[in-house]
Amino acid sequence: MKDIKALCDQVRQIAYDIHVYHAHGHLEKVYENALAHRLRKAGLDVKQQHPIKVYDEDGTLIGDYLADLLVEGVLIIELKTAKTIAPEHEAQILGYLKSALLEHGLLINFGSYKFEIRKFAWTENQPQRTQRAQRFICLFLSALSAFFAVK
């Protein structure tokens, strides 16, 4: 498996290529299938609608959800087809990462005319303030890279 930065870079480029080719206007499932297809063509292990269980603090199973994509067993990808990424979308992927006990996730919005992608990182051991600072830095770097990636 590649390092997480290289993996995220590869996913970002493939997602951008899909956005350029298909543009916006399709249902989320179309983009999910396209991204899964192209990632598999690139030789990556991709699981679509992968079930992840959610546990309470005492270990009781309280529900589950389906991650849009799980890549290489380490990266959750949540897809949207909205006008823009909203705070509830960010909260959703952070909740998924915490529940799945995974550290890395990408939130990709194919619904806007402008390509939107954000990387998120979750670690249980960091104080909440540090997590907010880390999230801000990740958002800033993602926005910066998206700004220079859009042609």
Write down the pLDDT at residue 21. 96
Going by pLDDT thresholds of 50, 70 and 90, the confidence category of residue 89 is: very high
Q: Mean per-residue pLDDT for 117-141?
A: 69
**pLDDT beyond 70 at 90:** yes
All residues at 6 or more sequence positions from 67 whose CB lies less than 8 Å from its CB, including other chains: 47, 49, 50, 51, 52, 76, 77, 78, 96, 100
The burial of 125, by beta-carbon neighbours within 10 Å (0-12 exposed, 13-18 middle, 19 or more buried), is given as exposed
CATH number where 19 lies = 3.40.1350
Write down the pLDDT at residue 135. 63
Q: What is the total count of domains within the chain?
A: 1
Task: Find the domain containing 57 and state its range.
Answer: 4-134+143-149
**For 26-40, what is each residue's pLDDT tens digit?**
999 999 999 999 999
